[in-house]
Amino acid sequence: MQKFLTGLFFLTLFGLSSSNLLAQESEQLKQQYKRPLEIPFPVNAPYSPQLATLGKMLFFDPRLSGNKDLNCASCHNPSFGYEVPIKTPIGTTKTPLDRQAPTLLNIAWVTSLFWDGRALTLEKQAEGPITAKVEMAGKFDIIIERLEEISEYEKWFKKLFPQKGIAKDTILTAIATYERTIVSEWAPFDRWVEGDEAALSPAQKRGFEVFNGPGKCASCHTGWLFADNQFHDIGLSTTDIGRGKIEPNNVFAQHGFKTPTLRELTHRAPYMHNGSLTTLQDVIELYNSGGIKRISRSPLITPLNLSKQQKSDLIAFLKSLTAERNNVTMPILPN
Asked if residue 99 binds ligand HEC (CB under 6 A), the reply is yes
For ligand HEC, which residue of 78, 182, 257, 320 counts as binding (CB under 6 A)?
A: 257
- Compute, in degrees rounded to 10, the torsion defined by CA atoms 295, 213, 104, 118: -30
Site residues for ligand HEC, window 149-208 (CB under 6 A)? 175, 179
For ligand HEC, which residue of 33, 51, 52, 76 counts as binding (CB under 6 A)?
A: 76
| For ligand HEC, the closer CB: 97 or 147 | 97
Return the amino acid letter for 106.
Answer: N
CB 268 within 8 A of CB 103: yes
Burial class (CB in 10 A: 0-12, 13-18, 19+), 45: middle
Asked if residue 113 binds ligand HEC (CB under 6 A), the reply is yes
Using CB under 6 A, count the residues that bind ligand HEC: 50
Binding span for ligand HEC by CB under 6 A among 32-40, 155-163, 192-200, 294-302: 294-302
CA atoms of 47 and 238, how far apart (whole Å): 39
Least spacing, CB of residue 220 vs ligand HEC, in Å: 3
CB 297 within 8 A of CB 253: no
Least spacing, CB of residue 277 vs ligand HEC, in Å: 7
CB atoms within 10 A of CB 287: 20
Least spacing, CB of residue 15 vs ligand HEC, in Å: 31
CA atoms of 318 and 283, how far apart (whole Å): 11
CA atoms of 314 and 300, how far apart (whole Å): 18
CB 288 within 8 A of CB 173: no
Least spacing, CB of residue 4 vs ligand HEC, in Å: 46
Return the amino acid letter for 109.
Answer: W
Give the contact letters, 300-319, x = binds to ligand HEC (CB under 6 A), - = no: xx------------x-----
Asked if residue 102 binds ligand HEC (CB under 6 A), the reply is yes
Among 58, 39, 55, residue whose Cα is nearest residue 106 = 39
Chain positions contacting ligand HEC, by CB under 6 A: 70, 72, 74-76, 89, 91, 97, 99, 101-102, 104, 107, 110, 113-115, 122, 125-126, 129-130, 135-136, 175, 179, 215-217, 219-221, 232, 234, 236, 257, 259-260, 262, 265, 268, 271-273, 283, 287, 298, 300-301, 314
